[in-house]
Chains A and B, each alone.
Chain A
Amino acid sequence: MIQKWFSRDIMYLMADIVVNVLIAFLFGSILLGLHRKVMARIQLRPGPPIIQHFLHSLKFFFKETSFPKTAAMPFYVAIVVILCAIWVTAVIVGPVSQGSLLIIFGVYALYKIVEHNSGSSSGSPYGKMSCVRAVFSAAAELPLFAVIAIVYLKTGTMNIAEIIAYQSVHGALIFSVPLATIVFFVLILSKSPYSPFAITKGKDLVSGYETEHFGFLRGFLMLSESMSWYVILWVFLTIFLAPLSLVGYLVGMIVITAITAIINAVTPIFNPNHSIMTQISIAIVGIGGSLLLMLIA
């Protein structure tokens, strides 16, 4: 675990947070670059270099930026700051302090609100359509809450540090609640780029709620998305496969990124109805099955 390497005995809490936020951004953006690379190779394209996502995030900070007349200022800019703030919060609750899973759920609920408001504040019809879909796809966040409930029923706690301690005694949760693991994996899949479930950013909407955020605002959004990808993988590995070493996290994140890239490369995007219904169906089967397995065992 990263915080063990940057122990509180050596550095202050603020340094711990800054270092973890930087790691989340750097490693998250490299993973997203790897995601594009794997997708390209599956589709028989050379694809961009793995560091391309990272370079783009920085490059956009120097691009010409202006604010559309139809944008609802200052909300149009503020929403980008809020997106970064919620992922800094997630880094604090996850890798830094190993706090409550409920706050992580709260972060995902807020993320939906950000998607919604980012689309509506731009004034573009593409953004507005994406904003409507963000409300629609909020139903797909319910499986996350259900997974947290299953983990609570199994371990008796929602605290990440205590869940790690539980797993070091009883073994990884992936073996005792495998169906809940699959449901969480589908959630990761829905958050990955070019996902079959990514209806808010479907190419029929150009770039969805991000369409009108260009220049440095796009770079800022990409920076937050890198952190978000790192955090969701960290949470998955910590809840279901802990305790892991630094190398374990590294390998786990790379493997999950590659698997999602392979799935996304060969799967077309669903229409909104099918996307939600598929996710909800998998969640119902997964959660119902998990409860049944727990009753039998």
Chain B
Amino acid sequence: MNKLNFYSYLFLIISTIMLLYGLIFNPNDWIVYTIAIIFIPLFILSLGFITMAKPKKEDEEERVQEPFIGF
């Protein structure tokens, strides 16, 4: 498992735990707001990193080349 996948799963687990904490234990409002604002986007981001298709090894370099370098 590469570094990106490792951190994606880590953040997905952390954000899931935080959202479940808010759902089950119903802490103070300000804590719930903070959890929602930080961890809902983080949950979607980490999910995206896991679900996205990665380029093939031989195509990797070609994919990150910007056609506009030098402007």
State the A residues within 8 Å of B (CB).
12-15, 17-18, 21, 61-70, 77, 80-82, 84-85, 88-89, 92, 123-125, 215-217, 219-220, 223
Contact A216 B51 (CB under 8 A): yes
Question: Is B52 in contact with A69, judged by CB distance below 8 angstroms?
Answer: no
On whether the beta carbons of B36 and A69 are closer than 8 Å, the reply is no
B52 x A13 contact (CB < 8 A): no
In the complex the two chains form, is A69's CB within 8 Å of B64's CB? yes
In the complex, the answer to whether B52 meets A15 with C-beta atoms within 8 Å is no
Docked pose: A68 CA to B42 CA in angstroms: 22
Smallest beta-carbon distance B47→chain A, Å: 7
The 8 Å CB contact of A14, one of B26, B55, B63, B71, is B26
Contact partners of B64 in chain A: CB under 8 A: 66-69
- Complex contact B47–A85 (CB within 8 A): no
A262 vs B53: C-alpha distance in the bound complex, in angstroms? 37
- Which A residues are in CB contact (< 8 Å) with B48? 61, 65, 216-217, 219-220
Min CB–CB distance A93 → chain B (angstroms): 9
* Size range of the chain B interface in the assembly: 20 to 34
Q: Which residues from B are CB-within-8-Å of A217?
A: 48
Contact between A216 and B66, CB atoms less than 8 A apart: no
Which residue in B32, B45, B68 is a CB contact (below 8 Å) of A13? B32
Name the distance in Å between B53's Cβ and chain A's nearest Cβ.
4
Establish whether residues A14 and B42, one from each chain, have CB atoms under 8 Å apart when the complex forms.
no
Bound complex: CA of A80 vs CA of B65, how far in Å? 21
Residues of B within 8 A of A84 (CB): 40-41, 44-45
CB–CB B65/A62 < 8 A? no
Decide if the interface of chain B is mainly helix, strand, loop or mixed: helix
Q: How far is the CA of A12 from the CA of B19 in the complex (A)?
A: 12
Give every chain A residue within 8 A of B68 (Cβ-Cβ). Answer: 70, 123-125
Task: Say whether A61 contacts B51, CB under 8 Å.
Answer: yes
Q: How far is the CA of A238 from the CA of B20 in the complex (A)?
A: 31
Contact B36 A17 (CB under 8 A): yes
Question: Are B66's CB and A13's CB within 8 A?
Answer: no
Q: How far is the CA of A14 from the CA of B19 in the complex (A)?
A: 8
Of chain A, the residue at the smallest CB distance from B48 is A216
CB 8 Å contact bits of B21-38 with A (1 = contact, 0 = none): 011001001001101111
Q: With A12-B26, A66-B64 as given contacts, are A21 and B52 in contact (CB-CB < 8 Å)?
A: no
